[in-house]
Amino acid sequence: MSPTDTNNLSIDNDGLRDWLDSLDYLLKKEHPDQVRYVLQQLQIRAQESGITAPFTYNTPYINTIPLSKQPAFPGNRDIERRIKNIIRWNAMAMVVRANKHEAGIGGHISSFASAATLYEIAFNHFIRAKQPDGGGDMVYFQGHSAPGIYSRAFLEGRISQDKLENFRRELAEGGGLSSYPHPWLMPDFWEFPTVSMGLGPIMAIYQARFCKYLENRGLKPVSDYKVWAFLGDGETDEPESLGAITLAAREKLDNLIFVVNCNLQRLDGPVRGNGKIIQELEALFRGAGWNVVKAIWGSEVDPLLENDTEGLLARRFGEIVDGEYQKYVVEDGAYIRKHLYGKDPRLLAMVEHLSDDQLEKIRRGGHDPEKVYAAFNAAVHFPGAPTVVLAKTIKGYGLGESGEGKNITHQQKKLNLDELKEFRSRFNIPIPDEDIENTPFYRPPEDSVEIQYLKDCRKKLGGSIPARREKSVPLDIPSDELFAEFYKGTDEREVSTTMAYVRILSKLLHNAAIGKLIVPIIPDEARTFGMETFFRQFGIYASTGQLYEPVDSESLIYYKESKDGQILEEGINEAGSVSSFIAAGTAYSTHNIPTIPFYTYYSMFGPQRIGDLIWAAADLRCRGFLVGATSGRTTLNGEGLQHQDGHSHVLLSTVPTLKTYDAAFAYEIAVLIKDGLEKMYTKQDTCFYYLSVGNENYIQPAMPEDAREGIIKGMYLFSKPENPSHLTANLLGSGAIMNQILGAQKILKNDFNISANVYSATSYNELRREALNVERLNMLKPLAAQQKPYVTALLEKNPGVFVAASDYMKALPDAIRQWVPGPMLTLGTDGFGRSESREALRDFFEVDSKHIVWAVLVLLFRTEKISREVLTQAQIKLNINPDKANPVTC
């Protein structure tokens, strides 16, 4: 026998029988831990001799929980089946009716059809509702299973029939139901958006971690509440789904349960036609340190396995690829007998007593309530590690010929009359033939056994789910005293806006009233931003505490990790960091604890990298501060193309609830943070903030009088010439480029006798939003008194020409162009960054003082305020090269 030819091995070869007998003896006599120890020792002995092969992260392709370990099912199987069937029917009816009403409106039938048992067991027996004190389980529902969740809410009496009728028609009279879980659209219902695949799983992991953080820091009582994430097997292909699973195990998140609905299909076809998704996921999760519970087979397989003393059946199950399993769904019992069992006469003999019909009806684990109950029960009681339940199901379960297990099933939105009748009959829905064409919704009477049972179950678990808390306790924000030093300026001292921001954050962290609620989040960049002093002062959160003496323990700013540490140091992981930001920024709703996240990161790795999570944060009604440090295409100089951010403000302008600011001065940051805290945490407005800060050092001026309102609105007059000459201009600056603007103001005065007003533009995006709002109202009410946008009212006080310069793309200042009362030129940093000195970069991108001056002169020439000669001489004086390389294309 060749050493690798394992097919020729049999129970009687090589003393295997003796080994198995010894193992059986141990299993009978010894504690499981002892058996595990013996197996481990055997493994070590074999490995010492160079044999590693027999050990894998996979277990056989059967249920993890054998029949002998299966707990008794605590519910009434019959009533639960009836409830589930009605929910199935209404979920299907919602989609069918919506598409009849409006062809192409979409919706999904087959995903929930495959997941119904998973959800129903969770709803009836496990998931605890949200409590006023902040307790309760947290559930990330698979986005496109939403019809099933609405359907249950309908039976529970939480959603009216009218609303059900208006699934995916949210603008219908009386409102409708959103396509997927969206807290923005249904703020008292959905808690977590999930339908951008992969975001649910990663947000769930960081939510579970954040729960432990709150407990370890003493902000929330220790509890056994769980975070549940329901996801699709196809969804696990998203890097975000699996990218953080090692963190979950490392952090021992036994409050986290993933339920992967392994229907073996995604949208186009099989997830792993030529492989086995359940085995692949098992190996991955076990390798990462998770507890893995497979629910592959229904109870019908138990007696077969019991009689299978040689493990033949388990082995055969393990050989078959998913594409073939999918085929068994659409074929009959005879086919299954031939292809599954027919490989070996001994297997055929094992199923001899079963008819073809019985073979066809052998269920998959995810459709057997007892198996699902056993899996969830094991999951909630497993200590010290997160659990993933891998439940095997059939996509489109119950759709019969019209979709069950077919490759087109994901897109199935309509059923014909016969299919509807078949569905109705299969699930025993009391709808007569004559009504079936209308696909009516069905709700048993309020006093029916079904409704009473389902309500009772939820009552025992604390109420209905999903449900979202809209308001939390308002906070008292520190007074101006805390911020006063920043309003004064730094005299001669040169500091960067990053340094100013870090100092503000430090003062807030020390604040007696709100300090402990602040959650500083950093992805391995604290030293870059000068935040390393926080390590010792506030500690880095480590659920284990610090198990080693840090190399820098002698220093004042050593790397201190502690169980109640405040800083979330996430490592090089922007997706994880922003997931922590989301957990902390929505804790006001999830936990009734208004934590205040400050997520400080390399601005280039913000929306460009994790834009979809920021979109989800907005949907989630998240609060907090995103702080893009080392920002500005030319202000961050040496790092070059991949690091220099000149577009985060443009990208973030697309997020409706995000307020974005490109602050030039320390006092602006102070005003914005104070205002943000008041808006988000005292008034509880639904918004969050993006502040970009830079690493260029310069003297921070004192705050001009009356600047506060303009800073918040997006622009204010920073400096006005004392004795204006007859030629004037207006300069709009932001971020570190403000210094170039101020330089230009001097050159214009000294060399050309032109007086320039300087405006600090803290937020073109906010200005645009306000102006669009005004314009819209003016359009809708043309006969009412017409309003003027703030930016126009501000700028028209000093008419003339306008030049805007920033470290961002020209699109940013251009956002307000139509409301600027005069000719305008914008200078910006379109194109790729590159490594150079700031001076060279600003010349290259044409955002330095000389180009700003030149732009003013060009506008004055165009408006016939200066002559051709003046312009020509200026060009020589300023050394403007008309044939200069275009930074956008080179």
Give which of ligand TPP, Mg ion, none residue 848 binds (C-beta under 5 to 8 Å, depending on kind): none
755 counts as binding ligand TPP under rule CB under 6 A? no
Shortest distance, CB of residue 361 to ligand TPP, whole angstroms? 22
Please choose, out of 46-54, 266-274, 344-352, 576-584, the segment that lies near ligand TPP by the rule CB under 6 A: 266-274
Nearest Cα to 704, choosing from 745, 754, 756, 664? 664
Which residues are paired to 259 by β-bridges? 230, 389
* Residue count, binding to ligand TPP (CB under 6 A): 18
Residue 270 and residue 222 in contact, taking contact as beta carbons nearer than 8 Å:
no
Q: Does 263 bind ligand TPP (CB under 6 A)?
A: yes
Smallest distance, Å, CB 233 to ligand TPP? 5
Part of the chain binding ligand TPP (CB under 6 A), chosen from 194-202, 348-356, 809-817, 853-861: 194-202
Contact 670, 630 (CB under 8 A): no
Contact track, ligand TPP, 82-111, x by CB under 6 A: -----------------------------x
Question: Interacting stretch for Mg ion, rule CB under 5 A, among 209-217, 232-240, 546-554, 563-571?
Answer: 232-240
State which residue, 265 or 739, has the beta carbon closest to ligand TPP: 265
H helices present in 176-244, as ranges: 199-216, 239-242
Q: What are phi and psi of 413, to 5 degrees?
A: -130, -5
Least distance (Å) from ligand TPP to the CB of residue 126?
A: 20
Output the residue with the shortest Cβ distance to ligand TPP.
232
Spell out the long-range contacts of 173-178 with Cβ–Cβ below 8 A and sequence spacing 24 or more: 177/146, 177/150, 178/146
**Cα distance between residue 830 and residue 845, in whole Å:** 8
97 binds, among Mg ion, ligand TPP, none (CB under 5 to 8 A by kind): none
Rounded to a whole number of angstroms, the minimum distance from the CB of residue 177 to ligand TPP is 18
Q: Alpha-carbon distance 396 to 258, whole Å?
A: 21
State how far the alpha carbon of 884 is from the alpha carbons of 202, 444, 571, in Å: 47, 77, 42
Interface with Mg ion in residues 256-295 (CB under 5 A): 263, 265
Considering only 195-203, 326-334, 637-645, 837-845, which stretch makes contact with ligand TPP by CB under 6 A?
195-203
Single out the residue of 198, 200, 232, 735 in contact with Mg ion (rule: CB under 5 A): 232
List the x/- string, 397-416, binding to ligand TPP by CB under 6 A: -------------x------
Q: Where in 235-254 is the site for ligand TPP (CB under 6 A)?
A: 235
241 interacts with Mg ion by CB under 5 A? no
Closest distance of CB 114 from Mg ion, Å:
7
> Rounded CA gap, 557 and 527, in Å?
11
Alpha-carbon distance of 262 to 276, in angstroms, equals 10
Q: Does 233 bind Mg ion (CB under 5 A)?
A: yes
CB 140 to Mg ion: min, Å: 16
- Least distance to ligand TPP from the beta carbon of 408, Å? 13
181 near ligand TPP (CB under 6 A): no
* Residue 271 vs 584, nearer CB to ligand TPP: 271
d(CA 700, CA 702): 7
Which of 97, 182, 395, 834: binder of ligand TPP (CB under 6 A)?
395
Residue 274 tokens, joined: 């030529």
Phi-psi region of 439 (alpha: psi -120 to 50; beta: other; left: phi over 0): left
Q: How many CB atoms lie within 10 A of CB 180?
A: 21
By CB under 6 A, the residues from 205 to 234 that bind ligand TPP are: 232-234
SS3 assignment, position 266:
coil
197 binds ligand TPP (CB under 6 A): yes
Q: What is the dihedral of CA 428, 430, 434, 439, to 10 degrees?
A: -80
Selected binder of ligand TPP within 151, 265, 630, 763 (CB under 6 A): 265
Note whether 236 and 277 are within 8 A (CB): yes
Torsion 372-374-376-378 (CA) sign:
negative
Q: Which stretch binds ligand TPP (CB under 6 A): 265-273, 671-679, 833-841, 869-877?
A: 265-273
Render 399-444 in DSSP notation, one character per residue: -GGGTTT-TTGGG-----HHHHHHHHHHTT----HHHHTT------
Task: Report the 10 Å Cβ neighbour count for 435.
Answer: 11
Instruction: Select 197 or 204, whichever has its Cβ closest to ligand TPP.
Output: 197
**Which residue's CB is nearer to ligand TPP, number 120 or number 525?**
120
Q: Coil, strand or helix: which one is 847?
A: coil
Q: In sequence order, what E strands does 667-780 have?
A: 688-692, 698-699, 715-719, 727-733, 754-761
Nearest approach, Cβ of 144 to ligand TPP (angstroms)? 5
Pick from 20, 23, 79, 267: which binds ligand TPP (CB under 6 A)? 267
Partner whose footprint covers residue 235, from ligand TPP, Mg ion, none (CB < 5 to 8 Å by kind): ligand TPP
Q: Does 234 bind Mg ion (CB under 5 A)?
A: yes
* Binding-site size, Mg ion (CB under 5 A): 5
Judged by CB under 5 A, does residue 200 bind Mg ion? no
For residue 466, say if its preceding peptide bond is cis, omega within 30 degrees of 0: yes
> Could you list the residues that contact ligand TPP (CB under 6 A)?
111, 114, 144, 195-197, 232-235, 261, 263, 265-267, 271, 395, 410
> Could you list the residues that contact Mg ion (CB under 5 A)?
232-234, 263, 265
